[in-house]
Amino acid sequence: MKLLNPKAFISMLLMMPVLAFAHSEQGIAGGFISGFTHPIFGWDHVAAMVAVGLWGAFLGMPALWLLPVVFPVVMAVGGALGVLGIDLPHVETVIAASAIVLGACIAAALRPPLWVAAIVVAAFAIFHGHAHGTELPDAANPFAFAGGFVLGTGLMHIAGIAIGYLVRWQWGVKIVRGLGAVIAFAGVGFLLGFLAA
């Protein structure tokens, strides 16, 4: 199974413009930075999005590319619902549950049919997108904000795929499954924290 070259992934990360983070939260740059950091600094989002990449890598081709494509496409639909003010029930609870379910799928080495995996990922993507979309109208530049959170999401999927590259080796499969368990337990923590708030 051929996966993403780790050298290519590291090169992509090094090419990211670090100086862009020096901008204030104004205009296009501020909107982009706000959108980019929104999913990255939300640990519940990070856990689920890395899990999508990990699960895709664990399942192999074509899930390797399909799941990380399905998520942001469907996330955009959820984002539109949030922008339009269409309410979804229990958004934060479902976001926490996404880390639990996706992490558990990896930990248990579940290999459902591709269409089932895609539906699971898509269902959670709607709620993640809705959470982003509700903040979009308040952004300095909504289009830049949307571009930023899509890029941030994509990079977290790539990070999951890169880590999932370890499944090429038997010892790596154990590490990836262990990371799935960590993500699932983190999801339980997110859920308990949200319910206690």
For the chain, the domains span 48-196
Q: What pLDDT does residue 37 have?
A: 80
pLDDT digits (tens, 9 = 90+) for 97-115: 999 999 999 999 999 999 9
| Dihedral angle over CA of 55, 56, 57, 58, nearest 10 | 50
Buried b / exposed e along 154-190 (16+ C-beta atoms within 10 A)? bbbbbbbbbbbbbbeeeeeeeebbebbebbbbbbeeb
Positions in the chain whose pLDDT score sits under 70: 1-30, 136-140
pLDDT digits (tens, 9 = 90+) for 134-143: 876 565 577 7
Q: What pLDDT does residue 127 have?
A: 93
**pTM of structure:** 0.77
Q: What pLDDT does residue 139 have?
A: 57
Q: What pLDDT does residue 148 have?
A: 80
Q: Give 82-150 as a DSSP string.
A: HHTT---TTHHHHHHHHHHHHHHHHHTT----HHHHHHHHHHHHHHHHHHHHHHGGGSSSHHHHHHHHH
Radius of gyration of the chain from Cα atoms? Answer: 16
Q: What pLDDT does residue 162 have?
A: 87
Q: What pLDDT does residue 30 have?
A: 61
Q: What pLDDT does residue 100 have?
A: 95
Q: What pLDDT does residue 110 have?
A: 94
